[in-house]
Amino acid sequence: MTKKQTKELIDALNESRSSELAAISQYMNHHYECKGMESLTVKDLFRAQALEEMGHAEQLAERITALGGIPTLKSGTVKRGKTVKEMLKIDCELEQKAIKRYKAQIKLAEKLGDTTTRRMLEDILISEEAHADAHEALLS
Ligand SMILES: [Fe+2]
Ligand SMILES: [Fe+2]
């Protein structure tokens, strides 16, 4: 990869890392703040997903560092749902955006011939699709 291509990839991975950092806070907040009967089914799920997002943020940081970049500490926008349904809806939106972004970044890594990054992103994508499926199942 040229210097410019490496920078493009690092910037892309940092964009995902920001979104993962936002997801950690958002899902943990939802874990703490969900109340009432219907929260019983999602309380643990919010926490479990937050921990998985932490894993993604960490994987991205490791790869960014390996590529010679600096992992961002900047979080994306965190949204706060008031009801369980609203929480699931805004979390699902965050997942849909992540899925779209990871698909684009997989293509970028492929184009640049970076197999390691591509495979890492594919693993993360599998996890995000499972998150989105869980939200959709609960919302329907
Ligand atoms: Fe994630
Ligand atoms: Fe996710």
Query: How many whole angstroms from 65 Cα to the centroid of ligand 1?
Result: 18
pLDDT, tens digit, 9 for 90 and up, residues 12-54: 999 999 999 999 999 999 999 999 988 988 999 999 999 999 9
CB < 8 Å & 24+ apart, contacts of 92-96: 92/132, 92/135, 92/136, 92/139, 94/19, 94/22, 94/23, 94/26, 95/128, 95/131, 95/132, 95/135, 96/132
pLDDT, tens digit, 9 for 90 and up, residues 68-117: 999 999 999 999 999 999 999 999 999 999 999 999 999 999 999 999 99
The predicted structure's pLDDT at residue 8:
98
pLDDT, tens digit, 9 for 90 and up, residues 109-132: 999 999 999 999 999 999 999 999
Please tell me the pTM assigned to this model: 0.96
Give the environment of ion ligand 2: residues with CB less than 5 A: 95, 128, 131
Query: How many whole angstroms from 49 Cα to the centroid of ligand 2?
Result: 6
Q: Which CATH class is domain 3-139?
A: mainly alpha
Ligand sitting nearest the alpha carbon of 124: 1
Give the environment of ion ligand 1: residues with CB less than 5 A: 20, 53, 56
Domain positions in the chain? 3-139
